[in-house]
Amino acid sequence: MPFRWSLNPYAGCRHSCVYCFARQFYVKADHGDRADFAARILVKENFPDVLRQELRKPSWLGESVVLGTATDPYQPAEGRFRLARETLEALLRHQNPFSMLTKSPLVLRDLDVLTELARVATVRVYFSISTVDLDLWRTVEPGTANPMKRLQVMQALRQAGVPAGVLMAPVMPGLTDSLVSIDGVARAAYEHGAIFFGAAPLRLMPTVKEHYMEFIRDEFPNLLARYERAYPGVHAPHDYVTALQKRIQSVRARYRFRDDEFRERVERVPQKVHQRQLALPL
């Protein structure tokens, strides 16, 4: 993973995406089997208290953290337990930079905290959108909100000054990897004000692979042999990934999505944040 620290106030996820890599972590942590991942959600009720203790430690240097990755912090349980909101409030208190990945419109509830945090620290909110084909969406992400609703919430964050964009991950061979599919998600991201767009190929780790292959066998049996040839291991073939990356880059260029747009934002973070971090004892 391209980060050192992640925050996951829940284990398991009701979104039940057929490709979710976090299913493996859930099973390896002995929380349950792969079917339990979407049915048995564990709530870390003291999560904000422990986080506040960690952020107060002199040894903490204010590194950027990621909210989510092994679960969606804004899945339905958040409506009751509000752990993601308390997490954001703790990060705001310490002006700590963070990024977040979610599929949920519920994040709009915490726009006030996100807006304040974006004024004093580096913030990046990724909305996961694997497809804008509504028939396919219902099949591969049965527990999630309509992708167009997610895009509308992303647009609301952007209008409030919160840096937000779209991750099309994973890109699924034979389902969402065509130029038309990638362009459809990128165009929707552009039209809703995204400041960045990225995409990544499907990975099939143990546990995830068994679950996903059963899904392909049941829903798209004509693709099963192709997947069995392409995924003897975790990753798609090198030639396929190279061709896919070229396709993605051509789409990014079409809508003028550039990585340096975010780097410019980082440079505008108030200097006092960096001074506070450097003043802490090592």
Q: Is residue 194 part of a domain?
A: yes
In this structure, what token pair is assigned to residue 69? Answer: 């990755």
Q: Rounded to an integer, what distance in angstroms lies between the CA atom of residue 236 and that of residue 229?
A: 10
Q: Is residue 268 part of a domain?
A: no
- Three-class DSSP category at 165: strand
Q: Is residue 277 part of a domain?
A: no
Between 114 and 270, name the one with better pLDDT.
114
Q: Is residue 232 part of a domain?
A: yes
Is the predicted pLDDT of residue 144 greater than 60, yes or no?
yes
Q: Is residue 211 part of a domain?
A: yes
Which stretches does DSSP call E strand in 81-147?
Answer: 98-102, 123-128
Confidence of residue 259 (pLDDT cuts 50, 70, 90): low
Gap between the terminal Cα atoms of the chain: 25
Give CA separation, 239 vs 85, 202, 235, in Å: 42, 14, 11
> What are 68-122's pLDDT values in tens digits?
999 999 999 999 999 999 999 999 999 999 999 999 999 999 999 999 999 999 9
Domain containing residue 140: 6-258
The answer to whether residues 189 and 150 touch, using CB atoms and an 8 Å cutoff, is no
Domain tally for the chain? 1
> What are 156-205's pLDDT values in tens digits?
999 999 999 999 999 999 999 999 999 999 999 999 999 999 999 999 99
Helices 179-191 & 147-159 angle (0-180, nearest 10): 40
Q: Rounded to an integer, what distance in angstroms lies between the CA atom of residue 170 and that of residue 153?
A: 21
Tell me which residue has tokens 């709009």: 108
Give CA separation, 136 vs 76, 130, 142, 172, in Å: 22, 10, 10, 11
Q: Is residue 52 part of a domain?
A: yes
Q: Is residue 137 part of a domain?
A: yes
Please give the pLDDT value at position 258: 78
The answer to whether residues 174 and 220 touch, using CB atoms and an 8 Å cutoff, is yes
From 132-141, 181-190, 200-209, 266-275, the region with the lowest mean pLDDT: 266-275
Please give the pLDDT value at position 241: 97
Domain holding 63: CATH number? 3.20.20.70
Q: What is the pTM for the complete model shown?
A: 0.89
